[in-house]
Structure 1
Amino acid sequence: MRTFKYIGLVVLAIIIWTAFIGYGTMDGFLLRSITSEDTSEAFIEAAQEKIEEDFVGNFAMMLIEDGEVAKTHFYSVDQPVNENTVFPVASISKWVTSFGIMKLVEQGKLDLDKPVDDYLTRWQLPESDFDNNKVTIRKLLSHSSGLVDDLGYNGFEPNEKVQTIEESLTKASDTDYSDGVAIVGYEPGSQYMYSGAGYTILQLLIEEITDLSFQEYMTKVVFQPLQMNNSTFVISEKPNLKLAPIYKNDGTTRPMNTFTALAAASLFTTTADLSKFVQASVSSNPVLRAETIATMIEPETFINEMGVYGLGPHLYSQNATDSKVIGHDGSGNDAINTAARIDLMSKDGIIILETGSYDIASSLADEWLFWKAGIADYVVIQRNKTFLFLLLGIGVIVIIGISIFIFKRNNRKRRLV
Structure 2
Amino acid sequence: MKRYLITLSILLFTFSVAFSQSKPEKIDDLLNRYHDARQFMGTALVAENGNIIYKKGFGFANIEHEIKNEPDIKFRLGSITKQFTSMLIMQLVQQNKVPLDGKLSEYLPYYRKDVGDKVTIHHLLTHTSGIPSYTNKPNFFAKESKLYLSTKELITKLCSDDLEFEPGEKYQYNNSGYVILGGIIEEVTGMTYEKALRKFILDPLQMNDTGYDYSEQIIKKRAAGYEKIVNGYKNADYLDMALPHAAGSMYSTVLDLYKWDRALRTGKLLSVENSTKMYTPFLNGYAYGWAVQKVSFNDNQNLTVYQHGGGINGFNTLIYRVIEEDKLIILLNNTGGAPLNDIKTGIMNILYDKDYELPKNSIADYIYTIIEDNGINEAIETYNRLKNNEKESFNFRENELNNLGYFLLNQNRTDEAIEIFKLNIEAYPKSANTYDSMGEAYMKKGDNVSAIRFYKTSLELNPGNSNAVLKLKEMGVEYNTEEIVFNAEILEKYIGVYKLAPEFLLTISREGDKLFAQATGQAKLEIFPKTETEFYLKDINAQIKFIRNEDGMTDKLILTQNGREMPADKIEK
The TM-score with structure 1 as length reference comes to 0.71
- What is the distance in 1 between the residues matched to 2:151 and 2:175? 13
- What is the distance in 2 between the residues matched to 1:90 and 1:328? 10
- What is the distance in 1 between the residues matched to 2:566 and 2:160? 44
CA contact (8 A) 1:331 1:359 kept: no
Match of 1:328 among 308, 311, 319: 308
Change (3 A) 1:292 1:243: same
- What is the distance in 2 between the residues matched to 1:350 and 1:145? 30
CA contact (8 A) 2:151 2:183 kept: yes
* 1:87 partner amino acid: F
- What is the distance in 2 between the residues matched to 1:68 and 1:337? 25
CA drift of 1:244 comes to: 1.1
CA drift of 1:360 comes to: 2.4
CA contact (8 A) 1:369 1:375 kept: no
* 1:357 partner amino acid: G
Give the 3-state SS of the residue equivalent to 1:363 in structure 2.
helix
The residue aligned with 2:76 is 88
Q: Percent identity?
A: 23
CA drift of 1:322 comes to: 2.8
* 1:118 partner amino acid: E
Instruction: Give runs of aligned pairs for residues 12-411 of structure 1, distance below 5 A.
Output: 39-56=23-40, 58-77=41-60, 78-121=66-109, 123-125=110-112, 127=114, 132-149=116-133, 151=135, 160-172=146-158, 182-235=161-214, 239-250=218-229, 251-254=233-236, 257-259=239-241, 260-281=243-264, 283-302=265-284, 308-317=285-294, 322-333=302-313, 335-368=314-347, 375-377=502-504
Change (3 A) 1:197 1:349: same
CA contact (8 A) 1:313 1:326 kept: yes
Deviation string for 1:171-191 (max 9, x for gaps)?
33xxxxxxx654421021111
Where structure 1 has 5 or more consecutive residues not aligned to the other structure, the ranges are 1-31, 173-179, 303-307, 390-417
Give the 3-state SS of the residue equivalent to 2:258 in structure 1.
helix
Deviation string for 1:299-327 (max 9, x for gaps)?
1112xxxxx21111111326995311102
Deviation string for 1:170-224 (max 9, x for gaps)?
333xxxxxxx654421021111100100001000000100111111111000100
- What is the distance in 1 between the residues matched to 2:178 and 2:271? 22
How many residues get paired? Answer: 335
* 1:167 partner amino acid: E
CA contact (8 A) 2:316 2:332 kept: yes
Segments of 4+ moved more than 3 angstroms: 35-38, 125-128, 152-157, 180-183, 234-238, 254-257, 318-321, 366-375, 378-382, 385-389
The residue aligned with 1:395 is none
CA contact (8 A) 2:329 2:344 kept: yes
Change (3 A) 1:291 1:273: same
Deviation string for 1:36-74 (max 9, x for gaps)?
688233133223222322354x31000011122221121
- What is the distance in 2 between the residues matched to 1:135 and 1:208? 17
The residue aligned with 2:422 is none
- What is the distance in 2 between the residues matched to 1:70 and 1:240? 28
Give the 3-state SS of the residue equivalent to 2:29 in structure 1.
helix
Change (3 A) 1:369 1:146: farther
CA contact (8 A) 1:126 1:183 kept: no
CA drift of 1:296 comes to: 1.0
Task: Give me the CA root mean square deviation.
Answer: 3.5
Where structure 2 has 5 or more consecutive residues not aligned to the other structure, the ranges are 1-14, 61-65, 353-500, 506-518, 521-558, 568-573
CA drift of 1:369 comes to: 5.0
- What is the distance in 1 between the residues matched to 2:112 and 2:347? 40
* 2:155 partner amino acid: L
Deviation string for 1:85-143 (max 9, x for gaps)?
1000111111111111111111111100111211112x314646xxx533111111111
- What is the distance in 2 between the residues matched to 1:152 and 1:265? 15
CA contact (8 A) 2:47 2:328 kept: yes
CA drift of 1:249 comes to: 1.9
CA drift of 1:356 comes to: 1.0
Give the 3-state SS of the residue equivalent to 1:280 in structure 2.
helix
Change (3 A) 1:166 1:386: closer
Higher relative contact order (CA 8 A, sep 6+): 1
- What is the distance in 1 between the residues matched to 2:347 and 2:177? 29
* 2:240 partner amino acid: T
- What is the distance in 2 between the residues matched to 1:224 and 1:214? 14
Give the 3-state SS of the residue equivalent to 1:220 in structure 2.
helix
CA contact (8 A) 1:296 1:310 kept: yes
CA contact (8 A) 2:126 2:288 kept: yes
The TM-score with structure 2 as length reference comes to 0.53
- What is the distance in 2 between the residues matched to 1:139 and 1:366? 31
Q: Which has the higher strand share?
A: 2
* 2:504 partner amino acid: D
- What is the distance in 2 between the residues matched to 1:341 and 1:348? 8
CA drift of 1:245 comes to: 2.2
